[in-house]
Structure 1
Amino acid sequence: MMNFPFEPRSTSYLRQGQYWSFQLSNGYFACGLVLARTTSEGKLNRTLFLGGLLNWSGPSLPTPSNLKNAGVLQSGFMHIRAIQRNGGEVNGAVDGTWDVAPEVVYTGLTSDGPPIWGYGYIRALAEKHFGDEGWSDKQLRKTA
């Protein structure tokens, strides 16, 4: 049984369905979700995972029941620092069908695979979807 919250230092304790939250500029919260850990040459990648932005925003910290029916808006490969710099802690886990295996092989950036997100991309994406009107696609591209 996992104890929440925890601050991840590597992907070792990350599991599919775990989420972290961060506050937006308008005071609301948004959530990132762990979709899969990544492997390369048969070994777990300690810093890279497949994550996504949940289609949820609210005035207070989320609970698993808040997130139960929230789908994933977009997904990408993320560095563990994306969690550390956007909320800092994994808050809990939510059961769901995420349409991806709990571990995926990372073979590098490909034209038909998920993109690689910079540390702040998930926050910029959340601001675009749920935050103030001031965010633009240009600002979003700067954080990728």
Structure 2
Amino acid sequence: MDYPLVPKSTSKLSPGQYWAVPMANGRFACGRVLQLNTEEIPTKTRGFFGGLHDWVGDTIPTADAIAKCGLIAYGVMHIKAITTTGGAVLGERDLSLDEIEMPRMISAHGGAGTMLLDGSTHLRLATRDEWGAFPVIGCWGYNFITQIADRKLAD
């Protein structure tokens, strides 16, 4: 794959790809593609499950710079979360190298149809005791990742 990549759909995305998230203070955070084509992604050709790294830099992220940096937030995103923030996918680093595991979450459906999730993948129906015990998966607007980065990572 040639980088940088400006995605027009999810067809060229793969788990582990990352992009720069410009912050209001002039620094950069880093977004990461985590899962594609799962049950909780409403528009498979344009949506993906991604995360925000616990990383900030003065320059755009590199595979070496984000190594072993955990994730601090997760959500279902549209490819415009990449193209309207950092503009392009910068590269790829295998998620297993960073020991990144998908977060346990519950679906946003609520009630008897609530699913226990591994990231955005259905595991099984959630038990009543699990309702409220795990975070609810969210769908993020195009610039929401920048808002989270500014709020959680600004110095």
Normalised by the length of structure 2, the TM-score is 0.72
Percentage identity across aligned positions?
37
Helix, strand or coil for the counterpart of 2:20?
strand
Q: 1:3 to 1:36 in 2, by over 3 A?
A: same
1:129 equivalent in structure 2: 152
Helix, strand or coil for the counterpart of 1:91?
strand
Q: How many residues align?
A: 124
2:91 equivalent in structure 1: 92
Helix, strand or coil for the counterpart of 1:129?
helix
Give ranges in structure 1 of 5+ residues lacking alignment. 133-144
Contact in 2 for aligned 1:37/1:102 (Cα 8 Å): no
1:22-41 pair list within 5 angstroms: 22-39=21-38
Greater Cα radius of gyration, structure 1 or 2: 2
CA distance in 2, matches of 1:126, 1:22: 8
CA distance in 1, matches of 2:36, 2:121: 6
Cα deviation for residue 66 of structure 1 reads 0.6
2:126 equivalent in structure 1: none
Give ranges in structure 2 of 5+ residues lacking alignment. 103-117, 123-130
Matched, 1:73 2:96: no
CA distance in 2, matches of 1:120, 1:91: 18
Structure 2 counterpart of 1:99, one-letter code: E
CA deviation profile, 1:28-50 (whole Å, cap 9, x unmatched): 1111000011245xxx8101100
CA deviation profile, 1:69-92 (whole Å, cap 9, x unmatched): 111101010111111111110001
Report the aligned-residue RMSD. 2.3
